[in-house]
Structure 1
């Protein structure tokens, strides 16, 4: 809340033009107004996002923010103004991860921002199939390939969770590749190799030797409109749209997977919840064995796997 003095010397509390209490020093008051504003804007988890934004501002964890609210901590007027600005951005449906600059994926803290697809929690279960296959591979240094790596989330998860594996990742967007390189630098996985290349022609030197090929390709049909403003307005279109039926890149992955994988190697593809059957049929017709679709933690079909004959 901004405070002004009347001519008679009494303090009065004013409202920010957007309606929120601006400059209030009571952490509880500021937080309650922020969560309400985010809820009014349709943000799916307004209280969580308010906690994360406040934690970002003050360098605190969510738990520490919650303790501060209960304890009755206060914000300075400058902090309250800065928090109001962050809340306004989130209320406009700018992705939380763009505001904080961080996306969490499995055990990783990734740098993200405009130009790169923000990794989603559901992709963590997709990565698990590749990680399990690498751990079970009958060789001392299994090889994993992530095609269209974006932020590097899947590739870095494989590299850090299976340190005896050799991981190769390709990305063909110059905007996304900046983030890929930055995350590899920050996390420092020595067993990860990055290349700037189209997935259709990536890694010819690995043909027939790879144990796992994984990809989270663009799979939204060209005429579909993503429901969430964060996706529709901020994710790169090249990371979303996959042709008339959304499966153009999946067809390419089928060809590339056949080229890269050894016999018995595993292909892992993320996709939309209604695309599992079409992808299984596509892969089976192309000669893949044991095509199967798996649900994520919300019980929506999310991953299809197949084995190289």
Structure 2
């Protein structure tokens, strides 16, 4: 019978990242995927036959390109553990840059409730992290996908976070409402981009947006002014080479203080602007 060390060695020899292999093996054994200390302490334990069958099935799915987060059913983001599956994109660490900017942009003025809108919420990563960090804020999250909203709503219930959800495409989901901050990680990959091959297990509707990847960002930039209070912020995540184009769209629409912020790799990953006027 194989030991846990044998199982990991086989997986890494076959090309699986060692950390991914450790997390999947722990998951197979019914333990926290982050309990690597236990795995080291029990490396000579035998892998039970029924666990080995589950392990082999997970390895096959991973070798086929399925994200580790889908295999585990969860992903850490912003200090929260979010349940994820093939109905939503896997939250990326770079999006935490957008969350921090949104938190900085929310007003701290007494006597009013700061309002944030997360457009295209997916698993709820942005909205739920803001709600956890700013319990005084009123957070609304939308998505055009009913399946994605079901995932986000389930995460909110499990985490006990009072986010309001609305179904619909971009600002059409919240007609007549105004917010201090609108944040969005919309689809921004160009149709036909070769990078899509590595993302084949994630929902294509949450990834691509027209020939240059900017179709959805154009819609949001055009619609956002009617849903922002004077002095409100629109903050957008985008592709690694789209910052200049997004800043140009914001400036042309009349936003002030247009700028970009870098992700963990030093790439301009988010751009935003201030809608003119005092709060």
TM norm structure 1: 0.84
Point out where structure 1 has 5 or more consecutive residues left out of the alignment.
1-22, 40-45
Q: Distance in 2 between matches of 1:111 and 1:38?
A: 26
For the 8 Å contact 2:149–2:165, the answer to whether it is kept is no
Aligned equivalent of 1:167, options 124, 133, 139: 139
Give the Å deviation of 1:50. 0.5
Distance 1:51 1:155, change over 3 A: same
Distance 1:154 1:294, change over 3 A: same
Partner of 1:43: none
Give the Å deviation of 1:260. 1.0
Partner of 1:251: 218
Larger mean Cα displacement after TM superposition, 174-183 or 297-306: 174-183
Matches within 5 A, 1:221-240: 221-226=190-195, 229=198, 231=199, 233-240=200-207
Partner of 1:34: 11
Give the Å deviation of 1:139. 5.0
Distance 1:52 1:135, change over 3 A: farther
Larger radius of gyration: 1
Give the Å deviation of 1:138. 5.9
Q: 1:305 is paired with a residue of what secondary structure?
A: strand
Give the Å deviation of 1:206. 1.6
Q: Deviations over 1:243-281 (max 9, x none)?
A: 121111111111222111111111110000100000101
Q: 2:176 is paired with a residue of what secondary structure?
A: helix
Aligned equivalent of 2:168, options 197, 202, 217: 197
Aligned equivalent of 2:184, options 212, 215, 228: 215
Partner of 1:7: none
1:96 has 2:68 as partner: yes
Point out where structure 2 has 5 or more consecutive residues left out of the alignment.
none
Q: Deviations over 1:91-114 (max 9, x none)?
A: 111111111111111111111112
Give the Å deviation of 1:135. 5.5
Partner of 2:266: 299
Q: Report how many aligned residue pairs link the two structures.
A: 275
Partner of 1:65: 36
Q: CA RMSD in A?
A: 1.7
For the 8 Å contact 1:263–1:308, the answer to whether it is kept is yes
Q: Distance in 1 between matches of 2:13 and 2:176?
A: 55
Q: Distance in 1 between matches of 2:226 and 2:235?
A: 15
Aligned equivalent of 2:153, options 174, 178, 181: 181
For the 8 Å contact 1:219–1:271, the answer to whether it is kept is yes
For the 8 Å contact 2:171–2:224, the answer to whether it is kept is no
Give the Å deviation of 1:70. 4.5
1:78 has 2:55 as partner: no
Runs of 4+ in 1 over 6 A off after TM superposition: none
